[in-house]
Amino acid sequence: MKRGLFVIVVLFLLLAGCAAKEEQTSGPIEEMAEGHGHGDVKITKHFDESLTLLTDNNLFSLEMVVPGKQLSMGVNTIEIIVHHATGGDVPQAELTVTPWMPSMGHGVMQKTVVTERGGGLYSVNNVVLSMTGHWQLQVKVVKGDKEDTAVFEFPEVKAMGHEHAMMHAPPPKDLDYSTVKTTPNDAFNVMYKSIGGQIRMNRIHSWELTIKDAAGQPVNDAMVTVVGDMPEHGHGLPTQPEITKVGADGLYRVDGMKFTMPGWWIVTISVMANGMHDSVSFNLNIL
């Protein structure tokens, strides 16, 4: 998780803990507690900069935290707080988030990864948007026998905030083709190698990842996602790579890697472990 979103998670959990221990709170926590299970349908907000919606049947109030209030082409991470529409948070719900491009009539092959943080807060990782334009995030919430949906609109997704600033820009001349990198927030060190030798176009193959923490210790039992992107053409991998843990030395196997065109590719590896989330991108030149 990027530092900004990590701070949001910590603040939210602290607020939730205080509400559970004290009879009186201030701000939105107090307002939610008074309306829990009673009163009129309303939208609840914890954060001033969040995006909010009531679900279609007014069962839930959704609060979405997006860096800069705007998604970008590539891999995104967001936070969603689920509230009852009459107040009160909704823990232990089943949350599904689906990126959809209405003008094109399609979504993406990569699935989002939802992790509950407690107190009605859910982290949504691997939100992959494969091109610029109008996108939706379709959210479904299931809690017990209640199910409802909502659609967040993002009319102008742009190619910003990633290593490739323009979708059809030529590859930079000084590309770093390192196979070992430290994530931007210094949380993890990630190394990849292709199992079986040189990577060839249009061949399904596997990778081996080695993940260590900032102290050089193996990171085991991490949640890992792998996303491929071809910035000159605005599309990703035709497959959805599957990641499995191998042993106890920070080793992971990635099956289902396939590059369909020659040229410049970017593979982004996201790691969530020990309460931290960070990602790193590798450049490849596929022949």
Statement to judge: residues 48 and 125 lie in one domain: yes
Question: Nearest-CA neighbor of 151 among 8, 46, 51?
Answer: 51
Mind listing the pLDDT tens digit for each residue in 25-35?
334 433 443 33
| Residues 164 and 76 sit within 8 Å (Cβ to Cβ) | no
Q: Domain residues for 185?
A: 180-286
| Residues 81 and 54 sit within 8 Å (Cβ to Cβ) | no
Please tell me the total count of domains within the chain. 2
| Residues 64 and 80 sit within 8 Å (Cβ to Cβ) | yes
Show Cβ contacts of residue 29 under 8 Å, excluding neighbours closer than 6 positions.
15, 16, 18, 19, 46
Confidence (pLDDT) at 209:
97
Residue 174 lies in a domain: no
Statement to judge: residues 9 and 138 lie in one domain: yes
Statement to judge: residues 47 and 153 lie in one domain: yes
Statement to judge: residues 66 and 7 lie in one domain: yes
Statement to judge: residues 44 and 129 lie in one domain: yes
Output the furthest CA–CA distance in the chain (Å, rounded). Answer: 64
Statement to judge: residues 119 and 215 lie in one domain: no
Domain boundary among 125, 157, 189: 157
Q: What is the CATH number of the domain that holds 56?
A: 2.60.40.3340
Average pLDDT per 10 consecutive residues for the chain, totaling 287 residues: 52 49 36 46 88 96 86 85 94 96 85 87 87 92 97 86 45 86 95 92 94 95 88 74 91 94 90 89 91
Which amino acid would we find at residue 63?
Answer: E
Confidence (pLDDT) at 201:
87
Residue 165 lies in a domain: no
Confidence (pLDDT) at 239:
82
